[in-house]
A and B are shown apart, each in its own frame.
Chain A
Amino acid sequence: MSDVQTFLDRLAERTEARRQAHGPEPTWIAARRQAGAARFDAMGFPDRRVEAWKYTDVRPIARGDFALTDSGDFSQASAAALTLPIVAHRLTFVDGVFSAALSDLGELPAGVAVLPLSRALAENHEAVGGPLGRLTGVEFSPFSALNTAFMEEGAVVRLAPGSVVKKPILLQFLSRANAQPVMSHPRVLIEAGARSQATVIEHHVGETEAANFTNLVAELMLDRGAILTHYKLQEAPLSDLHVASIHVEQGRDSRYTSFNLNLGGGLVRNDLITELNGEGAVANFYGLFYGQGRQHIDNHTLANHNAPRTFSNENYKGILDDRARGVFNGKVVVKRDSQKIEGFQSNANLLLSDRAEIDTKPELEIYADDVKCSHGSTTGQLDEEAVFALRTRGIDEQTARGLLTLAFAGEVMELVELAAVAERVELAVAGKLPERFNLSGLVEAAILLHDD
């Protein structure tokens, strides 16, 4: 049986089970599922001859046999240990299933809705059907097609024009250690009305022994003047397979800031795309990835400058140890007649082992002449001046190199405004750095001091 057929069979079973349990679905959903399945069937899983998948082998996903689950059980204690210590409007999903017990929305400001997709569909499925799939259709990739065929749960965030959400909205995705690996296809839909403001944290984390497949699609629509900060903190268990397609649409003067922080996952692929459709729109893409063991982390980003006077700014940093492999593909596209564009892109990587590999490709595709675009990519060595300066303070060379490696990540983390996220990542990076760097205790102590 082919890899594709395994998934299609699961889909058929699931559709039938759903029909028996809940009766027929709204026709638009059924039609999209069908379109998704047909598209997935036609494309199959991408092989490495497909340019966008040149460096990423998805066979661990294609060859897997993943069940679907209806159980959102997760022990309160282990959830508490994993969760981000932050006051937030919280939605929790366990292997893709909504967990009311682990969710706490608290009090939301007027005009703001945060709810699980299933509930949004139950309340008014047509209001969901309009925006859903508008940015990420089944054509985008075999994974978006697969998601569309399977989607059941996820998060819907609606911000009325002018609304401001002070506390972050936390979408927590927990991966559970199951007897049989499961898959989930979460769907996130964020509609930020004009001049609304919010911070959304997408947090992927789970039990160490888990080995599940998450295939997320997120569509984020920013109306004019909206400001959205989007943290994706991916700390999935090391055997988890994680694919995410995040598509953003930006109206006039909107500002989207992404922190794409990848520490976990065995096989990770992120696609982050923004459509800068209105003048004055600004997109900031900040990324950090840390791979060790045999982790494979692939980040593809794309900034489409579809309107004049739009700005994109990107800074991704990667640290790779052991036999880990990192992929960075950043692309800036300036459409014809999109004049007065500024697009900056930077990717820097550090390899800590000779068996680690980074494949990086910063691309520019430009069809207008009044532009200022640049990209830089460096893979290489720590600043020897800085190593010397630290050693003159009595710090041994390895610790000095450790501090500078931590600092390398720190340049992205400095921009993080949420202390809970910054500290968590900093601790995680310090903890992951090879023992020879001898940093244990240092960061903890510094964070304690900071909190003091």
Chain B
Amino acid sequence: MLEVKDLHVTVEGKEILKGLSLTVNAGEVHAIMGPNGAGKSTLSAVIAGKDGYEVTSGTITFEGQDVLEMEIEERALAGMLLGFQYPVEIPGVKNIYLLKAALNAQRAANGQGDMPAPEFMKLIKAKIAEMKMDASFLQRAVNEGFSGGEKKRNEILQMLVLQPKLAMLDEIDSGLDIDAMRIVADGVNSLRAADRGILLVTHYQRLLDYIIPDHVHVLVDGRIAKSGGKELAHELESRGYDWVVEESAA
């Protein structure tokens, strides 16, 4: 469903991605790993449409559509959803507004009317329970004053409500203790489905003990240096990244 071909991206004049190619099919879970500064977060940011990233060449298509031609919200409505590494705090905007506005936008794009209030309420309550969150959080401002774990859980909650076709999770494990990690991983695992792709970006192998990937890619210096199955992640854990870096330099 997602096809990235020979992607070159510069940020403030510096080339970060240097010819990255990647295919994610429905039903697959891909993990992108790599040392710091390799460009892991750049990939998901570019797919989501963040400002300040200049695509100098290459293509991104999603279900045959040219992603780079789409507005930020069009990408989300097409089914690509990004879980932020650092979720933005939005003082004053209640979570309930965000969820309802986002869900309504999605339904409108599919030619459906707004979800009736009782149905919406039922849905939200179920998903909140799934993420082991308190209902009071709906009336709180988006991410404001949330702990690191709460913020990440909130990202997953939005995924559970919006049911994207492609879920991109950028370092969703950073800043989580082991209990929060389990909850987040359970949430992600519940998203696994035959018609959904999941793209995990992570620095540590740890997360992959909980979310078993189908494919693991190692990103080094703006390119995928090595791809493999879940066992590659274990190898990286025991051997570190240096050997891949050396291999790719050779």
Q: Is the pairing of A and B real?
A: yes
Question: Residues of A with Cβ closer than 8 Å to B?
Answer: 383-386, 388-397, 399-400, 403-404, 406-411, 414, 441-443, 445-446, 448-450, 452
Contact residues in A for B158 (Cβ distance below 8 Å): 393
Contact residues in A for B114 (Cβ distance below 8 Å): 441, 445
Enumerate B95-109 residues with CB–CB distance to A below 8 Å: 96-98, 100-102, 104-106, 109
Q: How far is the CA of A394 from the CA of B109 in the complex (A)?
A: 9
Closest to A407 in B: B92
Q: Are A392 and B81 in contact, with the CB atoms below 8 A? A: yes
Contact residues in A for B51 (Cβ distance below 8 Å): 384, 388
Give the interface centre of A393, A408, A452 by most chain B CB atoms within 10 Å: A393
Contact residues in A for B20 (Cβ distance below 8 Å): none
Q: How far is the CA of A441 from the CA of B101 in the complex (A)?
A: 10
Contact of B100 among A397, A409, A414, A446 (CB under 8 A): A446
Contact residues in A for B120 (Cβ distance below 8 Å): 445, 449
Closest to A402 in B: B101
Binding-face segment, B70-78, B175-183, B201-209, B240-248:
B70-78
Q: How far is the CA of A410 from the CA of B82 in the complex (A)?
A: 26
A408 and B92 contact, Cβ closer than 8 Å, known pairs A392-B82, A395-B101, A442-B101: yes
Interface size class of B (residues with CB under 8 A): 35 or more
Q: How far is the CA of A432 from the CA of B114 in the complex (A)?
A: 21
Contact residues in A for B138 (Cβ distance below 8 Å): 449
Closest to A387 in B: B72
Contact residues in B for A411 (Cβ distance below 8 Å): 91-92
Contact of B105 among A396, A441, A445, A452 (CB under 8 A): A396
Closest to B158 in A: A393
Contact residues in A for B94 (Cβ distance below 8 Å): 410, 446
A449 and B76 contact, Cβ closer than 8 Å, known pairs A395-B102, A403-B97, A407-B91: no
Contact residues in A for B87 (Cβ distance below 8 Å): 389
Contact residues in A for B185 (Cβ distance below 8 Å): none
Contact residues in A for B73 (Cβ distance below 8 Å): 391-397, 400
Closest to B76 in A: A394
Closest to B72 in A: A391
Q: How far is the CA of A441 from the CA of B100 in the complex (A)?
A: 10
Q: A388-B88, A396-B105 are in contact. List 8 more A-B contacts (CB 8 A).
A: A389-B84, A390-B93, A392-B84, A393-B73, A394-B81, A395-B73, A397-B72, A449-B138
Q: Are A410 and B50 in contact, with the CB atoms below 8 A? A: no
Q: How far is the CA of A433 from the CA of B106 in the complex (A)?
A: 23
Give the interface centre of A395, A409, A442 by most chain B CB atoms within 10 Å: A395
Contact residues in B for A385 (Cβ distance below 8 Å): 88
Give the interface centre of A397, A404, A408, A449 by most chain B CB atoms within 10 Å: A449
Q: How far is the CA of A452 from the CA of B121 in the complex (A)?
A: 9
Q: Are B105 and A395 in contact, with the CB atoms below 8 A? A: yes
Give the interface centre of A394, A396, A404 by most chain B CB atoms within 10 Å: A394
Q: How far is the CA of A386 from the CA of B86 in the complex (A)?
A: 12
Closest to B143 in A: A389
B139 touches A (CB below 8 Å): yes
28 A-B contact pairs sorted by A residue (CB < 8 Å): A386-B88, A390-B98, A391-B73, A392-B49, A392-B73, A392-B76, A393-B76, A393-B101, A394-B73, A394-B77, A394-B102, A394-B106, A394-B109, A395-B101, A395-B102, A396-B73, A397-B71, A400-B73, A403-B97, A406-B92, A407-B92, A408-B92, A410-B94, A441-B114, A446-B97, A446-B100, A449-B120, A450-B139
